[in-house]
Chain A
Amino acid sequence: MNWVAANTAQIVGLLLAHVAITIPAILLSVAVAVPLGRLAQASGRARGGILATTGILYAIPSLPLVIVIPAVFGLPLRSAATMIIALTVYGVALLARTAADAFASVPAEVAAAATATGHTSGAQFLHVELPLAMPVLIAGTRVVAMSTIGLATIGALIGIPSLGSLLTDGFQRGIAAEVATGIVLTLALAAVVDGSLWLAGRTSQPWTRVAGRARGVAA
């Protein structure tokens, strides 16, 4: 605990750096994977192509990826942007299939009713398909968030500061408290983000909470 008290400023700085990498990566993953998932629903061929491609992305080894990204995007090797892009690649790989499943879970009759009542395709996506896909999308996003927060620590290996820096530094210098702090804070951050997503999902889907409550009797 002495070590923590003596290094509070550094710990807080690394926690903020971790947040500054992971939150944009999670948001970008959702922003890319959700349209891809919806596109995959358009046809069987689109689904096969999109899901196969995004699935393979997850198999790319992480260290080569973080070294290739600066070269491709013209970024400095040790920038937070490099890590954000790498984490987004994995996030999209993880979320695209779930997003496709989320849109597939929208009942065909409801989609037909949306068409029949004269929704434009944009309105149908925004006001019918997206809200109904939301429970599955939130579940998928929670998995991506956890994976992203854990994975961001590897940036420390190439010198991109995050809570992972506490792990590498602690190992090298043999400071157990530093390693423990890195692990605990990573898990704590994951728990907070997961809880927030759960709460956001719950409050944005009031209709899912009434199902099963007493039904009207009169026909």
Chain B
Amino acid sequence: MPYTSAPSVQFDRLRVRYRDTDVLQDVSLTIEGGSFTVLLGPSGSGKTTLLRTVNRMVDPAGGRVLLDGSDVSLQNVVRLRRSIGYVMQASGLFPHRTVLDNVATVPRLLGVRREEARTTALAAMARVGLGPDLAHRYPSQLSGGQQQRVGVARALAAGPRIMLMDEPFGAVDPITRRALQHEIRQLHAGTGVTILFVTHDVDEALALGDRILVLDAGGRVAQDATPTGILTNPADDFVAEMLGTASGDRSLRIQDARGAELVVDRSGRPIGVLER
């Protein structure tokens, strides 16, 4: 299904306090509708907090979040959340519901009849490569990669125009993670939904984002650039350190190979292609 108008997200002088510290101080950013934006930062940089202000799981102490220009704090919170896809690690699946019922969660909450909700859920499962044979299993009976796909399918089943993804692939093996990353890129290309993706993994950020926002403590935006821009021109020592270029342990570079941009490590070994 094509998404004609994926919403933009605007953070306007956002401030979030937890106990006596500012988790986010004065964050102002605009995320374009239909873009794939990665929030990259170490733990404590406030990236998950920033994500959760969009669906109001975190309430800001100051500032506003605008979704397609309208202030989320003025919207019905339950309706808002049902309209936004949220994907987290596999541990966020409902262990007491089958795969099918996990995926059908939001349609059921919206009052869709059971049969219809299951049809929607099966379609969402198919889009992430989950066959109907898995429908009646419980999450504990799936592999890590399958669990992640269930999480993505659950978010898709609501037919969202924006998806928030909080380190969804952090707990799966590297090969499966690559496959999932590839699929989520394709899903984005096919739907044009706005994606905000949180990770602390530099490789993942480079592989996925059209745009990468590198966050430092307090939600300070250390750099806001394309993957190429970040690799070729780290804004400061903090970004360089995240990339591993400062210490020399990885030294990712970009190399042209017949028109495609190849990411290579210090010894010239290619580790990925920038899909653009």
- A117 adjacent to B106 (CB under 8 Å): yes
Q: At the interface, yes or no: A12 with Cβ under 8 Å from chain B? A: no
Q: In the complex, A213→B96 CA distance in Å? A: 15
- A101-136: which have CB < 8 Å to B? 107, 109-110, 112-120, 123, 128, 131-132
- B91 adjacent to A109 (CB under 8 Å): yes
- B141 adjacent to A213 (CB under 8 Å): yes
Produce 1/0 per residue, B133-148, CB < 8 A to A. 0100110111111100
Query: Known contacts A213-B141, A216-B134, A219-B146; is A112 also within 8 Å of B109 by CB?
Result: no
Q: In the complex, A10→B140 CA distance in Å? A: 53
Q: Closest residue to A219 on the B side, CB-wise?
A: B145
Residues of chain A contacted by B264 (CB below 8 angstroms): none
Q: How far is the CB of A51 from chain B (nearest CB, A)?
A: 24
Produce 1/0 per residue, B81-93, CB < 8 A to A. 1100010110111
Q: Closest residue to B142 on the A side, CB-wise?
A: A216
Q: In the complex, A219→B78 CA distance in Å? A: 33
Query: Known contacts A109-B89, A113-B88, A219-B172; is A132 also within 8 Å of B96 by CB?
Result: yes
Residues of chain A contacted by B97 (CB below 8 angstroms): 207
- B57 adjacent to A112 (CB under 8 Å): yes
User: Contacting B96 at CB < 8 Å: which of A119, A205, A217, A219?
Assistant: A205
- A211 adjacent to B140 (CB under 8 Å): yes
Q: At the interface, yes or no: B199 with Cβ under 8 Å from chain A? A: no
- B143 adjacent to A215 (CB under 8 Å): yes
Q: Closest residue to A119 on the B side, CB-wise?
A: B109
The number of chain B residues touching the other chain, given as a range, is 35 or more
Produce 1/0 per residue, A178-219, CB < 8 A to B. 000000000000000000000000000111001111111111
Q: Which of A123, A132, A218 has the most CB of B within 10 A?
A: A218
- A210 adjacent to B141 (CB under 8 Å): yes
Residues of chain B contacted by A112 (CB below 8 angstroms): 57, 88, 92
- A118 adjacent to B109 (CB under 8 Å): yes
Residues of chain A contacted by B45 (CB below 8 angstroms): none
Query: Known contacts A118-B79, A120-B78, A207-B96; is A109 also within 8 Å of B143 by CB?
Result: no
How many residues on chain A are close to B (CB under 8 Å)? 29
User: Contacting B86 at CB < 8 Å: which of A110, A116, A210?
Assistant: A116
Residues of chain A contacted by B106 (CB below 8 angstroms): 117-118
Residues of chain B contacted by A131 (CB below 8 angstroms): 96
Q: In the complex, A212→B141 CA distance in Å? A: 8
- B109 adjacent to A123 (CB under 8 Å): yes
Residues of chain A contacted by B134 (CB below 8 angstroms): 216
Q: How far is the CB of A122 from chain B (nearest CB, A)?
A: 11
Q: At the interface, yes or no: B176 with Cβ under 8 Å from chain A? A: yes
Q: How far is the CB of B210 from chain A (nearest CB, A)?
A: 24
Q: Which of A115, A123, A205 has the most CB of B within 10 A?
A: A115
Q: Closest residue to B77 on the A side, CB-wise?
A: A118
Produce 1/0 per residue, B152-180, CB < 8 A to A. 00100010000010000000110110010
Q: In the complex, A157→B63 CA distance in Å? A: 68
Q: Closest residue to A205 on the B side, CB-wise?
A: B96
User: Contacting A216 at CB < 8 Å: which of B78, B94, B137, B172?
Assistant: B137
Q: How far is the CB of A72 from chain B (nearest CB, A)?
A: 41
User: Contacting B88 at CB < 8 Å: which of A109, A120, A219?
Assistant: A109
Q: Which of A114, A118, A119, A215 has the most CB of B within 10 A?
A: A118
Ranked 5 nearest A-B pairs via Cβ: A219-B145, A118-B82, A118-B81, A113-B92, A116-B86
5 A-B pairs whose Cβ atoms sit less than 8 Å apart in the complex: A113-B88, A113-B94, A117-B81, A117-B86, A117-B109
Which chain A residues have a beta carbon within 8 Å of chain B's beta carbons? 107, 109-110, 112-120, 123, 128, 131-132, 205-207, 210-219
Known A112-B88, A118-B79; further 4 A-B contacts with Cβ < 8 A: A131-B96, A216-B134, A218-B145, A219-B172
